[in-house]
């Protein structure tokens, strides 16, 4: 196993670095480096810049308009974007539903949906979870009944509710797991449906979280008419497609590159607060750094295996567990470094340029509490860490 980069790979890294440097808007990278609030416009502006270059679908094969990069090139691209302060690519379109459409959609669906995802023009949401169906996803109850309507052909009538829909307030399309059969094993009665969120009967209600942000939503479907041509693959085979997507989601969630960038920010905060020289605090930073390097090695091992043609996605759960714990830990250490100055929870401080009255401390520390609260989510979403441990026990350790 060779974990070092070849001269060609180093040159590729330089090329990406130069392009990102020249094209990433400074106001966006300022917000990312300081964990400030990113608007819809910020996220979509960057997505469209990448889309124009053909890199929003950076993991896509050339056949579908992607650059056709290998696993190492994809990793280098992700790392360079993260270190430069680019926002995370919102994964629901390019990382989640696109691979499903490529693998299981028909040619017409591929032509209809992939261009809007690749360009960053169409915002997708993920409609998997429901009240009572999170870890036990196969129990989804949102019902889709197939009917033939005069003049409108075959449609599904969808009724039910999704929840925890990330950034669903911006969603234009949503991919949903819906129940099309109630008999037999629950997994055998699920279908994968693409729903236009502008359809009559779809409504979105925000859920305000600990950090005061409405990052997630409830989405309700009340007799929503969905053309049958929006069904991916075969009816009642949706569980297979859903699992294909989840393996992509969990590898993506590990996000080691973001942790590397945030480690540097932690050091900056510790220096500004005068605790960097405190040996006990330095121990904590060192321990975190060792864990980040170890996670990076794990990611590189996966890449190395992929390069030599071995399938390693069965450790996606492991990457998710470690990656999410690390994300929580750096936010805890940032709070500790800033001490009492990080404690006031001032939501407005998430806005770039905020100059509010901050009692006694550095205003730069004001957004820390929001980030700390926000990152509690990481051990829950994308499949909770407890459930990931069960999967790792069954698939890796047994």
Ligand X SMILES: Cc1cc2nc3c(=O)[nH]c(=O)nc-3n(C[C@H](O)[C@H](O)[C@H](O)COP(=O)(O)OP(=O)(O)OC[C@H]3O[C@@H](n4cnc5c(N)ncnc54)[C@H](O)[C@@H]3O)c2cc1C
Per CB under 6 A, residues contacting ligand X are 126-129, 134-135, 164-166, 216, 377, 380-381, 383-384, 386-387, 390
Tokens 């996605």 correspond to what residue?
A: 313
Give yes or no for a contact between 32 and 98, defined as CB atoms under 8 angstroms apart: no
Nearer to ligand X, 129 or 257 (CB): 129
Residue 176 pairs in a beta bridge with 127, 193
Q: Which residues contact 342 (CB under 8 A, 6 or more apart)?
A: 334, 335, 365, 366, 368, 369, 372
Q: How far is the CB of 136 from ligand X (least distance, A)?
A: 6
Distance CA 232, CA 65 (A): 20
Q: How far is the CB of 324 from ligand X (least distance, A)?
A: 11
- Nearest residue (CB) to ligand X, 242 versus 326: 242
* Nearer CB in complex with ligand X: 109/126: 126
What is the C-alpha separation between 39 and 122, in angstroms, rounded?
A: 16
Closer CB to ligand X, 136 or 145, in the complex: 136
**CB 140, min distance to ligand X, A:** 10
What is the nearest approach in angstroms of ligand X to the Cβ of residue 126? 4
In terms of CB distance, is 129 or 331 closer to ligand X?
129
Pair 149, 170: CB distance under 8 Å: no
Q: Which is nearer to ligand X, 259 or 378 (CB)?
A: 378
**Residue 110 or residue 384: which is nearer to ligand X going by CB?**
384
Minimum separation from the CB atom of position 207 to ligand X (A) = 9
- Shortest-Cβ-distance residue relative to ligand X: 134
Torsion, CA 62, CA 65, CA 69, CA 71, rounded to 10: -100
381 and 249 Cβ atoms separated by less than 8 Å:
no
3-state secondary structure 249-282: HHHHHHCHHHHHHHHHHHHHHHHHCCCCCCHHHH
Shortest Å distance, C-beta 214 to ligand X: 11
Residue with tokens 């449906």: 193
H/E segment holding residue 42: helix 40-53
| Residue 181 or 390 with smaller CB distance to ligand X | 390
In the complex, the smallest distance separating the C-beta of residue 123 from ligand X, rounded to whole angstroms, is: 12
Give CA 141 to chain center in angstroms.
24
Q: What is the DSSP string of 372-393?
A: HHHGGGGGTTTS-HHHHHHHHI
Q: What is the nearest approach in angstroms of ligand X to the Cβ of residue 133?
A: 7
């Amino acid at each position: 196993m060779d974990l070092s980069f070849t001269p060609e790979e180093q040159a590729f890294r330089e090329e990406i670095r130069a392009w990102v440097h020249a094209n990433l808007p400074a106001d966006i990278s300022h917000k990312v480096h300081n964990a400030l609030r990113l608007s819809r416009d910020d996220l979509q502006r960057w997505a469209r810049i990448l889309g124009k270059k053909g890199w929003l679908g950076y993991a896509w094969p050339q056949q579908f308009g992607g650059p056709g990069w290998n696993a190492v090139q994809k990793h280098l691209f992700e790392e360079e974007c993260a270190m430069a302060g680019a926002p995370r690519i919102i994964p629901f379109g390019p990382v989640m539903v696109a691979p499903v459409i490529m693998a299981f959609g028909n040619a017409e669906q591929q032509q209809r949906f992939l261009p809007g995802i690749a360009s960053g023009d169409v915002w997708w949401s993920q409609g998997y979870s429901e009240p009572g169906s999170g870890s036990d996803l196969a129990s989804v109850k949102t019902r889709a009944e197939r009917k033939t309507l005069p003049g409108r052909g075959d449609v599904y009538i969808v009724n039910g509710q999704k929840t925890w829909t990330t950034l669903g307030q911006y969603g234009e399309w949503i991919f949903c797991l819906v129940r099309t059969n109630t008999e037999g094993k629950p997994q055998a009665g699920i279908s994968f449906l693409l729903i236009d969120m502008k359809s009559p009967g779809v409504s979105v209600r925000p859920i305000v979280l600990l950090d005061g942000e409405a990052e997630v939503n409830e989405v309700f479907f009340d007799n929503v008419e969905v053309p049958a041509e929006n069904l991916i693959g075969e009816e009642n085979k949706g569980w297979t497609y859903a699992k294909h997507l989840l393996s992509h989601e969990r590898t993506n969630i590990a996000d080691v590159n973001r942790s590397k960038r945030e480690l540097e920010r932690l050091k900056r905060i510790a220096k500004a607060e005068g605790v960097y020289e405190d040996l006990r605090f330095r121990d904590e930073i060192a321990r975190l750094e060792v864990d980040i390097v170890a996670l990076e090695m794990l990611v590189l091992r996966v890449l190395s295996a992929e390069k030599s043609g071995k399938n390693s996605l069965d450790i996606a759960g492991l990457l998710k567990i470690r990656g999410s714990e690390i994300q929580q830990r750096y936010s805890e250490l940032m709070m500790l470094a800033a001490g009492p100055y990080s404690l006031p929870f001032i939501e407005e401080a998430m806005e770039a340029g905020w100059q509010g009255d901050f009692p006694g401390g550095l205003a730069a520390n004001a957004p820390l509490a929001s980030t700390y609260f926000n990152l509690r989510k990481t051990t829950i979403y994308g499949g909770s860490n407890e459930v990931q441990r069960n999967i790792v026990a069954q698939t890796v350790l047994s």
